[in-house]
Amino acid sequence: MSIQRVMVVLVAFFHGLTAFALPSSTTSQALDSRSSMEPRAGADPNLTGYLGAFFLGADPFVYFYLSNGNDAISFKALNKGSPVVKPTKGTKGVRDPAIVSGGGAEAGKKWYIIGTDLNIGSTTWDAAQRTGSRGIFIWESTDLVTWTGERLVTVEDVTAGMVWAPEAIWDSGKGAYMVFWASKFYPSSDSSHKGSPSNTQIRYAYTSDFKTFSAPQTYIDKSPTDIIDLTILTLQDGSLLRFMKDESRKTVFVEASESGLFGNWTRAGGTLAIIQSGVEGPAAYLDNKAPGRVHLLLDFYGSDGYRPFESTNPGSNGGWTASSRTNFPSNLRHGSVLPINQTCYDALVKKWG
Ligand SMILES: *[C@@H]1O[C@H](CO)[C@@H](O)[C@H](O)[C@H]1NC(C)=O
Ligand SMILES: *[C@@H]1O[C@H](CO)[C@@H](O)[C@H](O)[C@H]1NC(C)=O
Ligand SMILES: *[C@@H]1O[C@H](CO)[C@@H](O)[C@H](O)[C@H]1NC(C)=O
């Protein structure tokens, strides 16, 4: 993160404090009046495309998709539709690939792909949640084109039944990456995990190198509700949105915070407000051209995978509309999308196009 960006985030943060006590119905107006005093959200002339990383239903590997020009909902497969990354360790299958942008000294210099160690073709959904992998897959890159350094690092306690859908965000306050995932837990007396587990929670740990991680702790516990598939988006004004799946009701919803990762998260519309039901694996990204527009991919896991949605009031659960699917490939499953510049776009075409 550049000094300028840190300052924008700090200004937005203190700005956010003054708007903090507004009822949620006025939040969008508050955001609008703030953005007129600051760089307009989401429109960065240096960003001219999007890189998507996904897995495909029957194929638990990392597939790259590149936008057609600077169109946020039009994508084509790279590498002729073959995987760009295939794991050799653990279950030899990776789901839910997330591209993590470097922060601090690694900003603009380092990227990571992290993902779930799960090949469902060689296990069952029940076993995968009792004695599944407690590690996360990690690859790294200095250009987003070449990916190396595969590792599988255990992040969870022995009482955990699985570690699902890891993602990470640079926490500038901590000067480290906050990594988060979903786990459920068995009593320590039930070491073979045959009994009843806890609800599924979002857990987290910190790392500065994706090699060693702090001891895991609980981040989101909506007991008795099961929560999976958390993703966090930083808006250009520095406020945060977190999208997640209610695994009990099979819905995706969003919460907003103007006071940081461990701040006051509120769910616009109330505790049962949702964006969509029958979906999972939310992936959110800012539009490169349209100020304030956010795109959200929702995985229709019982049907044809990701479909794009969009909103200019992204902290609202009710403000999302379906985007055109004319140029959006079908059967892409839970992954992530990263806005990229032209240098990166051209390098990806050269290597994988
Ligand atoms: C675009 O890139 C140039 C060159 O790196 C940089 O000076 C400028 O601040 C960038 N603009 C934005 C809006 O990030
Ligand atoms: C959290 O935010 C909500 C909505 O903006 C507000 O009503 C509430 O007072 C805030 N809670 C705290 C502890 O600041
Ligand atoms: C463009 O993106 C690449 C990553 O692919 C990064 O290394 C480079 O610094 C970026 N260039 C500019 C001008 O932002």
Q: State how far the Cα of 277 lies from the Cα of 140, in Å rounded to an integer.
A: 34
The pLDDT, as a whole number, for residue 42 is: 53
**Residue 78 near residue 352 (C-beta atoms within 8 A):** yes
Q: Whose CA is nearest to atom 8 of ligand 2?
A: 21
**Which of helix, strand or coil describes residue 90?**
coil
Q: 3-352 maps to which CATH number? A: 2.115.10
Distance of CA 15 to the CA centre of its chain: 26
Ligand nearest, relative to CA of residue 141: 3
On whether the CB atoms of residues 112 and 351 are closer than 8 A, the answer is: no
Ligand 3 mean position to 141 CA, how many Å? 13
Ligand 1 atom closest to Cα of 45? Answer: 13
Nearest to 89 by CA among 133, 141, 37: 133
259 lines ligand 2 (CB under 6 A): no
How many C-beta atoms surround the C-beta of residue 324 within 10 A? 11
State which of 7, 46, 236 you would mutate to test the pocket of ligand 1, scoring each by most atoms of that ligand within 8 A of its C-beta. 46
Distance 233 CA to ligand 2 centre (A): 20
**Stretches in the chain below the pLDDT threshold 70:** 1-42
Give 80-83's long-range contacts (Cβ < 8 A, gap of 24+). 83/59
Query: Tell me, what's the pLDDT at 173?
Result: 95
> Could you tell me the residue ranges of all domains in the chain?
3-352
**Ligand nearest 344 Cα, by number?**
3
Q: Is residue 44 in contact with ligand 1, taking CB distance under 6 Å?
A: yes
Tell me, using a 6 A CB cutoff, whether residue 266 lines ligand 2: yes
Which ligand sits closest to the CA of 343? 3
Cα atoms found within 13 Å of the Cα of residue 100, Cβ hemisphere only = 31
Burial of 79 (0-12, 13-18, 19+ CB in 10 A): middle
Amino acid identity at 35? S
Ligand 1: residue whose CA is nearest its atom 13: 44
Find residue 79's DSSP bridge partners.
none
Mutate-to-test residue for ligand 3 from 4, 66, 341, 346, highest number of ligand atoms within 8 A of CB: 341
